Chains A and B, each alone.
Chain A
Amino acid sequence: MAIFALAFFAHAFETAWAVRTPQVADVTQGNLATKTLDYSRTERAARIATAMMILATVILFAGIVFRGISAGHAPWGNMYEFSITGTFALVVAYLFSLIKYDLRWLGLFISFAALLALGTAVTLLYRDSAPLVPALKSTWLVIHVAAAIISGGIFLLANIIAGAYLYLDSAESKGVRPFWALRIPSLETLDQLSYRLVAFVFPLWTFSVIAGAIWAESAWGRYWGWDPKETWAFITWVAYAAYLHARVTIGWRGRRAAWLCIFAGSTFLFNYVYVNVWGTGKHTYSGLNE
């Protein structure tokens, strides 16, 4: 029964996200229609879009909670559960940045990324909720995985912003921005924002790696064993450390910094996808091989 309810919820998020995307598309079409930089007409569409985003986030949160109740533990035991929680972290990070920066233009990309992640989760990764294997039974599951997922969501957001930076930078160097991107903040703001997101979440990522090490010490008898997941977590850590140093100490800005940020983010994604699904080692909890 619970499983049916879950499938239903999973579809509910999907629908909610699908509704969300045309709303954002309205914004861009509004621009196309007016082209006179009169945003009053699109303002309402943008607001509806943000409201839909919040609603979808709430539903997603409810879905995660139900998943947790049905499984009887924090819902971070397999890749389906990681994916939905990671998406949640991404969207929440976006909504929080929205308070301070006018990022609504990013909504299109964010909702697309979220849809993609949820779609993959529901179709390819879905598994019935199940009890945890003994090694996962620990308070550290909540601490370590929550820290990792939140970091992942924010890294991903920083990546999307860095990507937007690169795209707009090349557009601007050729001439003007495309009409639909006129509202996006200046390149400097994007640059600063992606740096601040990374600087904000880097200690959390460090903590997540260390919490993992403490847990590994009590579950596997060593705190660091160069397991593929650990290795890639380390590589991600080094890449972001290099990014922070490049910015703060050497003074990298703009394109080079954005590329480095995207590189670091892709090591995180590689770790998530490759090691979980095809990798060998102690972290392969995707639940796909059963």
Chain B
Amino acid sequence: MRTALILLMMLGIAAIPGSLVPQRTTNPIAVRDFIANNPNLAQWYERFSLFDVYASPWFSAIYILLFISLIGCVLPRSVEHFHAMRALPPATPRNLNRLEFYQQIQCEADALDPAAKWFKENRFRVRREDGNISAEKGYLRESGNLFFHLSLILILVGVGFGSLFGMRGEAIVNVGERFISMPTSYDSISYGKLNQGSTLSPFTIEVDNFVAQYNPKTNAPIDYTLSVRTEFEGVKKSETVKVNSPLTFGSTRVYLQANGYSPIVTVRDENGQVVFQGPVTFLPQDGNLRSIGSIKVPDTTPQIGFVSSLLPTYARSQDDGGVSVYPELLDPKLLFSVWSGDLGLDSGVPQSVYRIDTTGMTNLGLGSLKLGETFNYPGGSITLERIIPWVNLQIVQDPGKGFALAGAIAAIAGLISSLYGRRRRIWIRQNGVQVEVAALAKNNAPGLEEEVQRFIRAIEESK
């Protein structure tokens, strides 16, 4: 019991560093910056897994020990309680006058029958012996208590099951495109340790339209609406996705996570031949969706790259140059610098789709484009055709969350009955006209005195 309590406190304390030190799972960029700024300290942090506190060996050790200790406490108590519930209340003590709320009343008639009746009406458990009754009520307190702790174990089982057999992935889809759930179509995907990767839910999402509404005064988003056509297990549907209402395919859910813009550009070589055409996903940098991206044209010699930024509503500022002042496409402008040389795509080193490493490349000039405009540079031209929105879908499969939810609901039910339940005993003994009543409340629960008064009144009225 004491061990479990100490472990519980340790778990609480152990959770603190994870909220003060940036965590890889929630804020990988902050972790990277921290390591870059404090390399020596970061080394020590790394040694104690302070960037992954909640997956660290010491954190796991605490909660695994806690649950072992909890099971060790709860199981024997459950068995004991089960026997106690089937057994009769303990016999009436000999000296009732040593107990709380002791009272003596005079009663000519039999007091035990009306007492037994009252106990039955008030659903007490009764042990009747010669000349006395022992009654007990409030087993729900202990039952609720045990139920609550067992539910905690169920929650943990649910969490564990979900993380072992679950899967989560992300995919960026342009409006007008179709997403088919196959491992290759995800931008990133990670499986639980025991998930074989063969359980991907076979669904298809076709993104028809995406509307983002903003508050013209504060530029803050008001609403996002994504219209899709889906196909799952042969059923075709038109559905709407919002931030708080994901799509559901069996145990897989699809969330609308982020959005941005993809300019559609056409790049031609000096002969006017199209060498690249299509939407390029740009990565938003701020609330007004100033986005950066790179347009890579690998099929020319030398290769061409555009290091670009997209401003949905263009304005100039003294300090920063081009900025965006509103997240909608009111006056979009694509700014870029043109580079020729080796893009490094064949070097085997993984690179960001949003950036170009321009070392060793030659700058061919700076340009800016509005919708429909074309910019010529030595050796070719680029045209900004259209700009379409993209959405980032998060796909999560968590087969354990049903257990966790059931556990959570059961935990609350158990908690309520254990904290609001009152366990108490009432005794009555008759010896001729002399009637003695006494009571005992466990955990000092209030209200027993009034109850005893009601009990006595019931007996006196029955005379």
Task: Give residues in A with beta carbon < 8 Å to B.
Answer: 130-135, 137-138, 140, 192, 199-200, 202-203, 206-207, 210, 213-215, 217-228, 231-232, 234-235, 238-239, 241-242, 244-246, 248-250, 275, 279-281, 290
Contact = CB atoms under 8 A, between A and B. Distances in A.
Interface of B: 1-2, 5, 8-9, 11-12, 15-16, 18-19, 22-23, 25-27, 30, 53-54, 159, 168, 215, 218, 220-224, 242-246, 253, 255, 257, 394, 396, 398, 401, 404-405, 408-409, 411-412, 415-416, 419, 443-444
Given A280-B30, A290-B218, A245 B5 contact: yes
A254 B242 CA distance: 51
A248 B18 CA distance: 30
Contacts of A213: 408
Contacts of A279: 19
Contact of B8 (A130, A217, A241, A275): A241
B415 A206 contact: yes
A231 B54 CA distance: 10
6 contacts: A210-B408, A226-B15, A231-B19, A239-B9, A242-B5, A242-B9
Nearest to B407: A210
B412 A210 contact: yes
Given A137-B223, A225-B25, A235-B12, 13 more contacts: A132-B222, A133-B220, A140-B244, A192-B444, A199-B419, A210-B408, A215-B244, A218-B244, A223-B404, A226-B18, A234-B12, A242-B9, A250-B1
Contact of A203 (B8, B11, B15, B419): B419
Given A226-B23, A242-B9, A221 B222 contact: no
Given A199-B419, A210-B412, A250-B2, A131 B215 contact: yes
B1 A249 contact: yes
Contacts of B2: 250
A130 B220 contact: yes
Residue in B8, B244, B398 whose Cβ sees the most chain A Cβ within 10 Å? B244
B415 A238 contact: no
A213 B400 CA distance: 14
B443 A248 contact: yes
Given A221-B394, A238-B8, A131 B222 contact: yes
Contact of A226 (B5, B54, B401, B408): B54
B181 to A, nearest CB: 15
A222 B224 CA distance: 20
B218 A242 contact: no
Contacts of A234: 12, 15
Given A137-B223, A226-B18, A234-B12, A206 B411 contact: yes
A248 B404 CA distance: 27
Contacts, number: 119
Nearest to A138: B244
A130 B218 contact: yes
Contacts of A242: 5, 8-9, 12
Contact of B244 (A137, A200, A239): A137
Contacts of B12: 234-235, 238-239, 242
B5 A220 contact: no
Nearest to B54: A226
B246 A218 contact: yes
Contacts of B244: 134-135, 137-138, 140, 215, 218-219
A203 B5 contact: no
Contacts of B416: 203
Contacts of B19: 226, 228, 231-232, 275, 279
A226 B27 contact: no
A232 B243 CA distance: 25
Contacts of B255: 219-221
A217 B401 contact: yes
Contact of A280 (B5, B18, B27): B27
A207 B223 contact: no
Contacts of A192: 444
B154 to A, nearest CB: 13
Given A131-B215, A218-B245, A248-B443, A202 B11 contact: no
B232 to A, nearest CB: 18
A265 to B, nearest CB: 14
A218 B396 CA distance: 11
A232 B396 CA distance: 25
Contacts of A245: 5, 8
A134 B16 contact: no
Nearest to B245: A218
B224 to A, nearest CB: 5
B243 A219 contact: yes
A289 to B, nearest CB: 11
B401 A133 contact: no
A215 B408 CA distance: 14
A238 B26 contact: no
Contacts of A132: 222
A232 B13 CA distance: 10
Contacts of A238: 8-9, 11-12, 15
Nearest to A202: B419
Contacts of B405: 214
Contacts of A221: 168, 246, 253, 255, 257, 394, 396
Nearest to B256: A134
Contacts of B242: 134, 137
A227 B26 contact: yes
Contacts of A248: 443
A135 B412 CA distance: 26
Given A138-B244, A234-B15, A235-B15, A133 B221 contact: yes
Contact of B412 (A203, A246, A250, A275): A203
Given A228-B19, A231-B15, A207 B412 contact: yes
A134 B159 CA distance: 27
Contact of B25 (A206, A219, A226, A244): A226
Contact of A235 (B5, B16, B404): B16
Contacts of B245: 218
